[in-house]
Amino acid sequence: MNTKWKPEPIRSSDITPEAVYVNRRQFMKGAALVAGGALLAACAPQAAPTPVPSVAATYDGQKDELGDPLTSYAAVTGYNNYYEFTEDKEGVAPMAKDFKTRPWTIEVSGLVNKPRTYDIDELMKRFPPEERVYRLRCVEGWSMVIPWRGFPLNQLLKEVEPTGAAKYVHFVSLLDRDQMPGQHSPFFVWPYSEGLRLDEAQNDLTLVATGLYGKDLLPQNGAPLRVVVPWKYGFKSAKALVKIELVADQPPTLWLTSAPNEYGFYSNVNPDVPHPRWSQDSERRIGESDRRPTLMFNGYADQVASLYTGMDLRTNY
């Protein structure tokens, strides 16, 4: 049972714009040279400073379909929930920097007619990526708007041909305690696993993400392969995938196994169903000072509400 996970305030370091971050690093690298060359610099002609290009420069001004601006690249890659490394959100990126993503394979098997194991590079060539801007809502109450790169999961499922007996999709992440020291934690049953109903997995919104902000995923964001399910809380989007299994029965998931009274199987973003320890009716978008109302299904109700017709979403939380 996890007793440590609770909402945390967003610190100013979480929202440093990328250009500021890059310029700061350039400044630090040059600081030692400035001391030795100050006199020469004072006498030399002063050229205009060369602007530092931003990884996210081509995304300036881009918004999602609700008109919300993108979360900064620095925040997206520097503030991460990834317990396999650490529970410290700002500590994930430095701890994961040497995580190896090659060689890498992913097995797609179970109740399918054509099981396959793909090399990651083969997979990325076979399914050309597209870009989608999705909102990500964390159960802890913070959110982001991210330009993902990837392909719909239904394309992969179509290729392996699920049988009529397949009702759920089970996602399994890498188990590697040497690279992921957080997996030594006794509070969870490793490896990380998650699941969707087959019709949820086949919905066109469900993405197999291979990158963000036009670049390959970084280790702290789930490299080399993760699932993104934008109408559900972020922990449903399993990272570092090594297996996708089609099964007949609802699969076990890490959070449901660890705390079934707090984290249900469906985990749809729902402002009307509070977490036992805090409300879910508002959220704090990283980069904003005020909280905003939480939208049902994270604002994707038009695309997914029909999946739950007739279901009690308080019971099936």
268 inside domain: yes
What pTM was computed for the model?
0.85
Work out the average pLDDT over 217-237: 98
**pLDDT tens-digit map of 120-172:** 999 999 999 999 999 999 999 999 999 999 999 999 999 999 999 999 999 99
CA pair distance 233, 245, nearest whole angstrom: 21
1 inside domain: no
83 inside domain: yes
CATH of residue 24: 3.90.420.10
Tokens representing residue 298 in the block: 């994270």
More confident residue, 130 or 53: 130
Q: How many domains does the chain have?
A: 1
Return the H-helix or E-strand segment holding 170.
Answer: strand 168-173
CA pair distance 194, 61, nearest whole angstrom: 34
E-strand ranges in 69-159 read 105-110, 116-119, 130-137, 142-152
pLDDT band at residue 58, thresholds of 50, 70 and 90? confident
6 inside domain: no
pLDDT band at residue 57, thresholds of 50, 70 and 90? confident
5 inside domain: no
- Contacts made by residues 183-188, CB under 8 angstroms, sequence distance 24+: 183/84, 185/83, 187/1, 187/2, 187/4, 187/258, 188/2, 188/83, 188/254, 188/257, 188/258
317 inside domain: no
Q: Is 67 left (phi over 0), alpha (psi -120 to 50) or beta?
A: left
131 inside domain: yes
4 inside domain: no
**pLDDT at residue 11 in the model:** 58
**pLDDT at residue 8 in the model:** 52
User: Between vectors from CA 106 to CA 104 and to CA 110, what angle results, nearest 5°?
Assistant: 160
Domain of residue 141: give its range: 12-308
